[in-house]
Structure 1
């Protein structure tokens, strides 16, 4: 059944008068009569009883009317929702994130986004940076929040923020008495670090920081999450070189100290597919820029 025929049928069922129904539809009476006849042929049933005095619905017409109205309402709703999605008013976003991003203004960005877009559903999925790039390319994520990466050609990226690395020490460690840590002072320490498979750029960057100061660190533990790094430090299992934002975790028995000199930084990037363009991704990027832009000003 054509939507046009159902719309004509519903208008005539409301008015029960061909002249008024035609005027309401902004057409003349003959096309309305033809349309009703076409619909009756399609459903193989008479829908109206009509004579010179009145027009009435038949039992078949009474049966069809609520269903026709439901179909027309669903069609209108689908059209409106599609328009809303195209305009970035409604939709569904799947956002990947690394755990440390939760301490870098991302929750505030999401709160601001949801306040501006209450009809958009946002699902969050914690994945490491490499996993997020893979999920993006397979269209299972719309946007990712990752550590320093080199995105592939079909993925766009935006650096949201830089932050310094800091020495992360267990409470009571001799070096906590210092205001600033010289990297060579960590030479004989057991280092707790990310697995290279999880974040190869982070892993390599920290190793290269140490090597630039004349030593290769003794890596005692390798883990998948920054919270695991902090937990092991708090238990006295070693020291770490960690992004400054992790101070906000408030892990007991963990002391953060700045590193002396000019050091590489930790980056938080937003990544998304170049095509197709998604207005909701752009809207969320705007909230992320605002929330993270003043976290660690350079």
Structure 2
């Protein structure tokens, strides 16, 4: 029977045995996606027929429509299962050895964000009356740089109004049919975010009659990212500014802090990045622009010494 075992079936068994409930749901979903790709690209490939050639062909087929980093993730998933198959002596040798990772040319994804004047125009379009609305959701992300799932997972208990702090310790799993609280993206994402006094006043009023431990924005109905993005799009058009996404508001928050000469380390902590390298790579264009401004200042200062 081992001779007839398909790669896709072995990977599914391995995934369910070793990864289910051992990794975060969002990570397990990626393993499931890998399984679907194996099924699509090599439905009849038997585990016993795996060689360096057949495995390389699988990688090459996957790489036709994916960037190299995505191919690397796919390779890591499949290789993890195959290494275990080798240890179980289901196959004789490791066919993933010396595999060559290819992929489509990396596309530069332009970071979309608003400038200070555009953001002010957007905020002026928000209707901040009594009752929870997406207007408050947009305001909060603009003021804090929260991720979409982090903002959805907030409860009134997460606000420390006396210290002007917002405690981020969880997210909301909006991608599942029945939403529920979920862990943050990484340990660095567990953080305290300082709030300005206007936001403190607005949200202390908004949350005063809400259940302390229930999500403020995630109600009984399932929430889709597109729904909120479409709401934000309408607001942007009303303000006659560039249309951005909810994630673009997070970029806007970070970019305005950088332009205000807030240190990269402080911005990284506020965004919940695991390290400053992530912040630097995401906002490289802004950092380079600021460095050019600094160079001009340095030259002017040195010239004045003569």
TM norm structure 1? 0.21
Which structure has the larger Rg?
A: 1
Structure with the bigger RCO (C-alpha within 8 Å, sep 6+) is 1
